[in-house]
A and B are shown apart, each in its own frame.
Chain A
Amino acid sequence: MQVSTEKFTELVRREVEKARLRPALKMVPHFLHEKREAVLADHPDAPAAQAYGGAIRSEALARLPELLEEFEKNAISNGAKVFWARNAEEANAYIVKLARERGAKYVIKGKSMVTEEIGLNGALSEQGIEPWEADLGEFIIQQMNRTPFHIVGPAINIAVEEVRDLFLSKAFIKEPTLDPVELGWGARLFLREKFHRAQFGVTGVNMAVAETGTIINLENEGNIRFAKSSPRTQVSVMTLEKVVHTMKDALHLIRLLSRNCTGQKITAYVSMDSGPRKVDEIDGPEELFIVIVDNGRSRIYQDPRAREALRCIRCAACLNICPVYRQIGGYAYGWVYSGPMGQVLMPPLLGLDKTQDLYRASTLCGACKSVCPAGIDHPDLFLYYRSLDVSADASAAQRFNGKERPWKETLFFKLWGMAVKRSWMWNSGISITRPLMNAGSRGGAIRQMKGAFRGWFRKRDFPAMAEETFRERWEKTVGKGTDFKSVP
């Protein structure tokens, strides 16, 4: 999948002008957020439950290597095969090879973010194996060749007219309709045939349980259950941070994920696999492959502060509450992840140099942090990435490809730093700057400015500088060098 995180500002400009996006953005994030609030209020102690989720994720990360080993051991003893992939290429090559060896003509896919991240669909298509996304939203965006607009509702922004036209052109429906239920029925009938004949199923993983070697998926539609029931071969792909210690921990996260994600007590289906089907079972996969993908995460793990981004359980509560996401939607973030969770995850995954605007496109209001069931402090990470980015010599900065800032900016802050430490420099600086600043001011406000600061004034005003500073007035009224204690 193409990465366009470098074009953030450009994409934002394009997205905010799309009138069509407004109704979806006005409704969906707010609606999901309200539902979340309502169902969380049911819990005897919601803040404790959220904090408990953070503690589970924190412990899982602290013990990550040992839990992965325990998970692998138990998964293998359940009869699953475990494959480790350093990066997207290795994961894709392995899955494509499995599918080819089994003569699969197509692959039925349950909704998963990691396979979006590694671009599995492209790798399968190249080898002539059709990937079929089976989650309705993923199905729609796959046909339209788009990235997910929202990590939970990938096609939530797409107008029903567009879905109608798409489904008509692909013959998923015979008669035009604007009824989402009828459109969904068309997709159901088409995908049902795919489920029925499927020989090869691919899913993601929400949680991998170390003590039992079990993988867990949450969903509402049933596409994942079908992908794990009908085909002879099942491949489940997980990133390495998905592991938790116990089934009890997993249960708590299931409760939290459902509540924070869609405002449900529990999603319609939670399926938990421990190995392939037994020989006397009539359905379920004869072979189960679990692919553990690193793709940059072990590098993130080296840095205990950046590691916090790996706590994420993909509930999207932070997208729904984010004042930035609520204006620009998911496309502007330039890759598979969006909103604050994308802004903390993509910079260390892709490099600070390629995601310059992502960790700066935040007011640091902390709404994301306030709803996170995994205990991520997003604003802290934004500040951390910003600090790494300007200290390109530090080893941590090198790890994540920190980029030097433009020389003008560096020079400006160097001078600023010198000035704020020396009163004579500050004071003479003020008297030099004042006429320049105030030259274009009207009615006590500076509305525009030429040169390097032009951008800042595009949508903002700045109060004109006062004719006198406090210090100047002080000197005039009580005299230069007067100790303030002696002033009555």
Chain B
Amino acid sequence: MASARDEILGKLKAAPKTKIPTRPFLPPAEEVAMGRDALVNRFTEMFAAETGIVYRAKESGQALETLTEIVQREGLKSVMVSTDEVVTALNLPAWGNKIDVKVATPKDFKGRDDFKDAVFDDAEAGITGVDFAVAESGTLGLRHDKDQARLISLAPILHIAIVPVERIVPVYEPVIETVFGKEKPPSQFVFITGPSMTGDIQGQLFKGMHGPRRVIVILVG
């Protein structure tokens, strides 16, 4: 007996062939022609439309000040941070020591289960860098790898993303070309646009269904 695979593919291959249609012309998105400032504005506007909050910092010192403000205003005692290059450059463990906030990274944990306990139950916010920010829709792009754990931007109720302005791109296409182009793609790549949300009860929309209720961006540069 043929395997299910061969049987299914065999049936598909034996079926009548159809023509491949030509594709219509698509005008490019207006973001493609935008300069740096316009892109930053578009990203901010789109991110805000999804209830995202954007802060602007000139350099990393100012970014840390903004972070301190946020953490103190929210009364946060414990945060989980990624070890990606954007966040690492800020040396958040040292910053946490100074302002008396517990800063953990996935590297502090023996394995998945310990890390999960901390990120689900302990962390009041997750702080990550991003690989891309897309102006088209105010979207963050994160490549998950050893320095960008998946649950940091997902499990805590607040997600704070540090976005270097040079990582803002007009549309999704260049992101995909970079991430899925020549090298092996990451185990997971994710686009995040605003907080987790639902409208499943009577169509009433609200944020923070399973993931973060709020997403804050600190634009640096």
Q: Determine if A121 is an interface residue (Cβ-Cβ < 8 Å).
A: no
- The answer, yes or no, to whether A280 is at the interface (CB within 8 Å) is yes
Shortest Cβ distance from B136 into A: residue: A265
Q: Tell me which residues across on chain B come within 8 A of A264, comparing CB atoms.
A: 193
CB–CB B190/A269 < 8 A? yes
Chain B neighbourhood of A62, CB < 8 A = 17-20
Kindly provide the distance from the CB of B119 to the nearest chain A CB, expressed in whole angstroms.
8
A304 touches B18 (CB 8 A): yes
User: Which residues of chain A in 139-181 are interfacial with respect to chain B, using CB atoms and an 8 Å cutoff?
Assistant: 140, 153-156, 158-160, 163, 180-181
Query: What separation, in Å, do the CA atoms of A277 and B187 have in the docked complex?
Result: 5
Give the size of the chain A interface in residues (CB under 8 angstroms): 96
Cβ of B209 and Cβ of A271 under 8 Å apart? no
Verify if B89 is at the interface (C-beta below 8 Å from A): no
B27 engages A45 (CB within 8 Å): yes
A contact residues around B199 at 8 Å (CB): 153, 156, 262
Contact A86 B149 (CB under 8 A): no
Q: Are B5's CB and A283's CB within 8 A?
A: no
Inter-chain contact B18/A48, CB cutoff 8 Å? no
Residue B106 at the chain A interface, CB threshold 8 Å: yes
Q: Are A294 and B206 in contact (CB under 8 A)?
A: no
For the complex, is A248 an interface residue (Cβ under 8 Å from B)?
yes
* Contact across chains for B201 and A136 when beta carbons are under 8 A apart: yes
User: Nearest chain A CB to B201's CB is how many angstroms away?
Assistant: 4
CB distance from B181 to the nearest CB of A (A): 9
Is A48 in contact with B4, judged by CB distance below 8 angstroms? no
Interface stretch (choices B59-67, B93-101, B107-115): B107-115
Contacts of A221 in B (CB 8 A): 196-198, 200, 209-211
Name the one of B13, B115, B185, B204 contacting A283, with C-beta atoms under 8 angstroms. Answer: B115
Q: Which B-chain residue is minimally distant from A135 (CB atoms)?
A: B200
Q: Do B23 and A229 touch across chains, with their CB atoms under 8 A apart?
A: no
The answer on a CB contact under 8 Å between B193 and A267 is: yes
Supply 11 further A-B pairs (C-beta < 8 A) apart from A268-B197, A301-B12.
A62-B19, A159-B202, A181-B204, A181-B206, A184-B198, A222-B210, A223-B209, A268-B192, A269-B193, A269-B211, A275-B187
A interface, CB within 8 angstroms of B: 24, 27-28, 31, 44-45, 48-49, 51-52, 54-56, 58-59, 61-65, 68-69, 78, 84-86, 90, 134-137, 140, 153-156, 158-160, 163, 180-181, 183-185, 188, 191-192, 195-196, 212, 214, 220-223, 225-226, 228-230, 232, 240, 247-248, 251, 254, 262, 264-278, 280-284, 292, 294, 298-299, 301-302, 304, 307
